[in-house]
Copies of this chain bind each other. A is one copy, B any other.
């Protein structure tokens, strides 16, 4: 296809949805992608650009002039436009913004760029349909025909007073089913949800999910309507949040994909492996300290990987449940209750596993005292690992730190060291050395 047959390519791409074109471009090399992008008409291009993989988009934008980028930006909604500009290097940002011709669009984008990207302000778009409470239904319909042109999708119509303060909402359906001489104030619903411009995006996501909203208005401290956030942006927030927690639990510290370069993957993975290595070297130290019992009870050393694995697994389970609970706000009740419950739970699990260990010892003809010592020490290690797995995330969360970092390698490593130490000390107490 890459035989520079412009006409055929053009007509071919005309049939495709921009998300599909973006997927094809992600597969092509940089020059080919830039070539295709320049072929497409401006409206399609801007949508395609937004859908591209971040690193591909960066490369394509590097090949466009500030003026060309500004033209694409004009076609985008304010929220996407602000996102695209914020990805550019700083010196280019200014240049691109100064090339935007539509003064209103330019001012709105500048406003959005000023907000932190993790807040409602960073996620919202300026495009919305707004009506004044004093208008009639007929007048309102006329105005909406005008405003709606700029808004890709009309979710709700927001009702404001003469100072632009949000006082209600209205659906297109309400408007259609109303009589044309009714006042907006009569048919609007004053029970409108909103978020503050500085609210955290995760909180916005929770509110929209809880109330099943498809769009939510954003206001400032004076209740002035500033913009709106739509559910498709929230879907991305939810997905990113889930991916991040999953990667942290697996010991990957950056947002990487299977197709990223080896260098990027190493940067994301190696730090956690080094942490695990230090943990393992700590265990070496601990076991060296018990070298003198190697000749009398060698079997203890055979069980160390088992102890480390159990301490790690139990810790990861406990922390995962708590981290998810904290993310969904479903962790309730007092700390003492949680403490008692976790002890009860890990005692039950530990007891079942301890019996299996004793049974295994019996089958392989191991000394009974040794088997019992191993089983009882393992049970204690499991209880301690469960407590650490539960309370480290809770404590981090109380201090305002993302509890997800406590899952995965972090909890596994600390539980490994502590578990092996505890195992030798307790087994020593029972066997007597």
Contact = CB atoms under 8 A, between A and B. Distances in A.
Among A27, A313, A324, A331, the most chain B Cβ lie within 10 Å of the Cβ of A313
Contacts of A66: none
A238 to B, nearest CB: 6
What is the copy number of this chain in the assembly?
A: 2
A266 B348 CA distance: 8
A298 B234 CA distance: 56
A31 interface: no
B272 A317 contact: yes
Interface stretch (A85-93, A115-123, A195-203, A254-262): A254-262
Contacts of A4: none
A426 interface: no
Among A19, A145, A246, A252, the most chain B Cβ lie within 10 Å of the Cβ of A246
Given A235-B238, A313-B412, A298 B294 contact: yes
A209 interface: yes
A303 B141 CA distance: 75
Contacts of A314: 269, 273
Interface in A280-334: 280-281, 283-285, 287-288, 291, 294-295, 298-299, 301-310, 312-314, 316-317, 319-322, 324-325, 328, 330-333
B145 A172 contact: no
B313 A272 contact: yes
Contact of A310 (B177, B276, B353): B276
A210 interface: yes
A153 interface: yes
A357 interface: yes
A171 interface: yes
Given A262-B345, A280-B310, 5 more contacts: A231-B232, A238-B238, A257-B325, A258-B330, A287-B302
Interface of A: 17, 19, 27, 141, 144-145, 148, 153-154, 171-173, 176-177, 209-212, 214, 231-232, 234-235, 238-239, 242-243, 245-247, 249-252, 256-259, 262, 265-266, 269-270, 272-274, 276-277, 279-281, 283-285, 287-288, 291, 294-295, 298-299, 301-310, 312-314, 316-317, 319-322, 324-325, 328, 330-333, 338, 341, 344-345, 348-349, 352-353, 356-357, 360, 364, 407-409, 412-413, 416, 420
